[in-house]
Each structure stands twice: as structure tokens, then as C-alpha cells.
Amino acid sequence: MSEPHPPRARHRRLRTRARLCALLAGALAVFGAASAAAGDPAARDLQRTIKLGELERSFLVHVPAQAQGRDRAHPAPVVIALHSGGGRARAFAGFTGFNKLSDADGFVVVYPEGIEGNWNDGRSRVGNRALVENIDDVGFLLAIPEALAKDYAIDPKRVYVAGMSNGGMMALRAACDAADKFAAVAAVAGVLSARMKPRCNPVAPISVLIMNGSEDPVMPWRGGEMRLGLDRLGRVISTEDTAAFWAEHDDCVTTPAVEELPNKDPGDNSVVRRAVFPSCRGTEVVLYTVDRGGHTWPGGAQYLPQAAVGRVNRDIDASAVIWDFFKRQARE
């Protein structure tokens, strides 16, 4: 009997996946570098490492002028921003523009590096080292604020996690595994994996924002198999089921109040609806539906052709929306 996945075919799929991930990472790097305008000259950009077991993990830190020093009377919030699968921290910093918001509002922003460009978001072990080796990425995220607190006044009640795609799924896993440590999470083009949902048992309520495109060719809106080109990347639940999961966990009213946001750029052929689940347990659960949007960052670059990743909505700026959501949240 022949193998269900002959070695030659498996190697060919892995090579294809590597090429697609390299293309994605390269595109994000180009657009990230192009959009990384000079920020506040008083801000600090640092490369840091942490030793976790046998692994040395690295991350970039952007510290605005307001957050430098150890003023315990005015501790700074921390936003941990997670790149997509195959991505890199420095490219994601430029791509999102979080540094400009950091300089304006005084929060520290951190860009961790995934293992070989990927995060252990709880999917089945499909082809990347972070998943195959069950890397403790939640432990890595928890260690970052502790490391920063040695040099800066960090507010442990205002630590947030945001990410795109694989990074967005990782942010949701952080909410599953450490809801008592993070004040809020945000996922763009990300949902819970089918494997993660039954294992997600948060120990506390947590605020969650989800922002997904209805025509995302990678992360299927209705759930099912994630795909990158012809490659299958594991099964996920739907966007609406992901939002409903968090609304139920936070004891929100499960029927949200929905409004269509102003169509500021009719030329993008996309509109945004915001659904707010009311009466949560001191938290917020909000779903942004990017109607006809793709596997993209609203307000960001069209980093690959629309045929490959779908369209970018320009009615909202995802980074600004996320920070506006985060700054309303704090753990008790």
C-alpha cells in the first residue's frame, strides 16, 4: 500500500509553502520599510532577547519618550504586536504604523519574532516548527513585560496583544491561556482554530476585538480549511462563531448592536460593519466585519495582488481602531 502522502509530494508541498511564505514575508518587508517614516527622535528602538529553556527568543521594542525611565507613578501600557505567518518583527512594525501611535500616546510597543516566522496558535501540527514542536509562545509573550519591567515602568494591568493572521490566531490563544494576564487582545484576519476552541478555557473575562474580511481567501470567513495557494494549513471555526465564543465567555448579550461605518473611500469597493456585544462582565467584545475585504490590514498596504490576498479596506485604520479599543481596557 502506498503512503497517503509520499515523501516526494510532501517535500514538494513544503517547498511550495516555503516559497509562498517567503513571498508574503518579502512583500510585507518591502511595504513595511516603505511605510516606516521617521518617528520621534527621542524614542528608543531596541533589540532584546530572552532565554526560555533551550531557546533564545528575540523581540524589538519601541519605547516612546514618555515611557523612558522608571516613573512608577505613571507606568506605561504595553502593546505586543504579532506578525503573520512567515513574517518578521521589523517588517510588521513598519507595516502597522504602531510606532507613530506609541509616540503620540506614550505606550510601549513590542514586536516579537516567531520561531522561524511562525506562532504556535493551537492548530493541528501542520508543517511549521512552532506547531510541530509545540513551542510555548504564550510563555514567551508573558515573559516580555516582565523583562521590560527591569528597565521601564510597565503597567501590568494594561498589557495587550494584537496580531494579523497567524499572529491574530496567536493573540486569541493568549486570551485562551492567559486571560488573567492580558487586558485585551485583537485579531485581524484571525480566528480560533477548530483544535483550539474546545481547549480554550479562559480563567477570567477578557476584552476581544476581531477584524476580518468577508472574502478572505486564506482565513475562511465561514470556517473550514485555511489555505495558502494550494497548501492546506489547518481547520478554523468561523469569524462569527469566534466572536460568539468570546461574547458567551464574557457573559455578554449574545445579540450584538450593529452599525455600518461611514464609507470614507468608495473606491475600495468595501464597507465596514461594527458589531458590539453589550453588557459584558466589565469587558468588551467587538467584531468588525470588513465586507468584501481580504486577508489584509485595513488602512494598510496592498502587500500582494488582490487576486492573491483580497482587497484592502480604507474606511478605517486598523492600528488606530485597535489602540482606541485597547486604551479603554485594564485588568482589575
Our CA angle for 327, 253, 221, nearest 5°, is 75
Identity (one letter) of the amino acid at 184?
A: A
Q: Extract the runs of DSSP E, i.e. beta strands, from the chain.
A: 44-52, 55-63, 76-82, 108-112, 154-164, 184-188, 207-213, 224-228, 231-236, 257-260, 271-277, 285-291
- The alpha carbon of residue 51 and the mean position of all alpha carbons in its chain are separated, in whole angstroms, by 23
Helical pair 166-177 and 137-148, crossing angle rounded to 10 deg: 80
Can you list the residues of the chain whose pLDDT is less than 70? 1-39
Q: Return the pLDDT at 79.
A: 98
CA distance 285 to 291: 19
Q: Return the pLDDT at 130.
A: 95
CA distance 278 to 293: 25
CA distance 16 to 34: 27
Nearest Cα residue to 249 out of 194, 204, 279? 204
The upper half-sphere exposure of residue 47, i.e. CA atoms within 13 Å in the direction of its Cβ, equals 5
- Asked whether 79 and 107 are in contact (CB, 8 A), the reply is yes
pLDDT digits (tens, 9 = 90+) for 174-232: 999 999 999 999 999 999 999 999 999 999 999 999 999 999 999 999 999 998 877 88
Q: Return the pLDDT at 6.
A: 46
CA distance 182 to 68: 22
What does DSSP assign to residue 80?
E
Q: Return the pLDDT at 4.
A: 42
Q: Which residues pair with 62 in a beta bridge?
A: 45, 109
Nearest Cα residue to 319 out of 163, 214, 166, 171? 163
Identity (one letter) of the amino acid at 322?
A: I
Q: Return the pLDDT at 39.
A: 62
Run of H or E residues at 168: helix 166-177
Domains and CATH numbers, the chain: 7-326 (3.40.50.1820)
Q: Return the pLDDT at 28.
A: 54
